[in-house]
Structure 1
Amino acid sequence: MDVGLTVGESIERTERTIEGFDLAELSIGEGSDPNEIDADRLESILADADADLCVHLPFEQVVATPVPELNDAIVDYLARLLEWAGAADARKAVLHGTARNPHDTDLRPLFADQLDAIGTAAADAGVELVVENVGHQKRGLPLSVLGDLADETGTAVCFDIGHAYMEDGDEGVDRFLSEYGDLVSHLHVHDARSRGDTHLPLGAGEIDYGVVRKYPVIRRYRD
């Protein structure tokens, strides 16, 4: 099992906190230029800690809109970031599963096309794309829709347990893992409360991790 931590955009935070972990998940801020990141320093920090790199693509960037020209630009933008991630030897890139209007069923085929194109760009860069469930957010696709589209496009999933709980409780976590657990190749693990608190330490919230632990995909990360 590889255990990592999210470090935001900060190399300094990475250096302070990475010891003892297997990977760091470095965020790329929307509109920031990853070429301004001190890649040599990042590589040295990770090498000293014997840790790998994952990246989180910009949180606010939607994947699909009704406008073809914007969709093309989104793919070009993310492909540029993925090229940098590949050059930095990142193993995975996390992409939020979002659309301009996630409840517009006409956008779902466009989302699939976008996801397929972004996945191709990731593969060309030598990075595994993993799409993250954020259905509790305004622009996040619902859990089952995200699962279906990830399955349709052959895209791996970053399953965020806390986000799934915020969207549909323990039942939503259970349902997603029972139907789409074989797609999960990356986990975000934190606790949450139904009143809106999230990204809490495990045990500080309401998630029933007994539900989570029964699935082989989760046991693979624990054993």
Structure 2
Amino acid sequence: MDIGVTVGDSIERLEATSADFDFAEFGLSEGVDPATDVDGNRLEAALEETGTDLCVHLPFKQVVVTPVPEINDAIVAHQTRLLEWAGGVGAEKAVLHGTARNPHETDLRPAFAEQVRAIDEAGEAAGVEVVLENVGHQKRGFPLSVLGDIARDTGTAVCFDVGHAYMEDGDDGVERFLRGYADLISHLHVHDARSRGDTHIPIGAGEIDYSILEDRLAGFDGTVAVEVFTDDVSLLTDTAGRVADALGEPF
């Protein structure tokens, strides 16, 4: 199991926070052309200096599917271009939010599955594993069970965001998803949350029962990204240690 840290779209944050981790998860903003807008030389140097591997987060504002086929084709083309860049800079995984213009339109789910399958194939061609993230607590995110079923049907790996699942359906939602889909999970996003709306806070500062991971993900050998919105390395490493303990692994 490798434990990393999310750094948003900031190479400076990568430089400042990643040295204690196995990898950094670098975010791509909507509308950014990474081939020209990301300083590839500085990114490469930062990864080498901190001794970290690379994952990327695809643009989270870009939905995966709409009711319009031509727009869907453009979305796949856009994500393919980003995945080709990611493969070129050595990224191992790419996180994709499971979103739609209106995820409650059940007629849109087959098209969503086709979009996910096409983006996953583009990732495979680029040498990058696409991992589909649950964001069902957001208005454009597919519910947990729908996302899990589509990931299974399309053969796509999952990025399970524990905090997002808690915000959608509490500890019961976390446990239920792990019970049904743990075998699909390749990547975890970990942070704490409170039902009043606080999220992406250090583990232990919120309400999530992380012992659920011990029960359902024992022996997990994928990647874990600490997604706590702070540059305080001691808080980041404390959260990493807590999740490692929950998974029965050292940090």
Please report the TM-score for the alignment, with normalisation by the length of structure 1. Answer: 0.97
* Whole-Å separation in 2 of the counterparts to 1:211 and 1:129: 25
Structure 1 residues 49-198: aligned runs within 5 Å: 49-198=50-199
Superposition deviation, residue 217 in structure 1: 5.2
SS in 1 for 2:70: helix
SS in 2 for 1:58: coil
Corresponding position of 2:25? 25
Greater alpha carbon shift after TM alignment, 148-157 vs 202-211: 202-211
Q: Does 1:38 align with 2:36?
A: no
> Is contact 1:3-1:21 (8 Å) kept?
yes
| Structure 1: stretches of 5+ with no match in the other structure | none
* Whole-Å separation in 1 of the counterparts to 2:215 and 2:48: 35
What per-residue deviation string (whole Å, max 9, x for no partner) do you get for residues 37-91 of structure 1? Answer: 1112211111122210000000111001000000000000000000100000000
Superposition deviation, residue 218 in structure 1: 6.5
State how many pairs are aligned: 223
Corresponding position of 1:48? 49
> Is contact 1:213-1:219 (8 Å) kept?
no
- What root-mean-square deviation, in Å, do the aligned CA atoms of Structure 1 and Structure 2 show? 1.1
Corresponding position of 1:205? 206
> Is contact 1:177-1:215 (8 Å) kept?
yes
Superposition deviation, residue 216 in structure 1: 2.9
Superposition deviation, residue 208 in structure 1: 0.8
* Whole-Å separation in 2 of the counterparts to 1:218 and 1:85: 28
Shift of the 147–217 alpha-carbon distance from structure 1 to 2, 3 Å rule, reads farther
Superposition deviation, residue 211 in structure 1: 1.7
Letter in 1 for 2:115: Q
Superposition deviation, residue 212 in structure 1: 2.1
Please report the TM-score for the alignment, with normalisation by the length of structure 2. Answer: 0.87
* Whole-Å separation in 2 of the counterparts to 1:41 and 1:32: 17
Letter in 2 for 1:141: F
| Structure 2: stretches of 5+ with no match in the other structure | 223-246
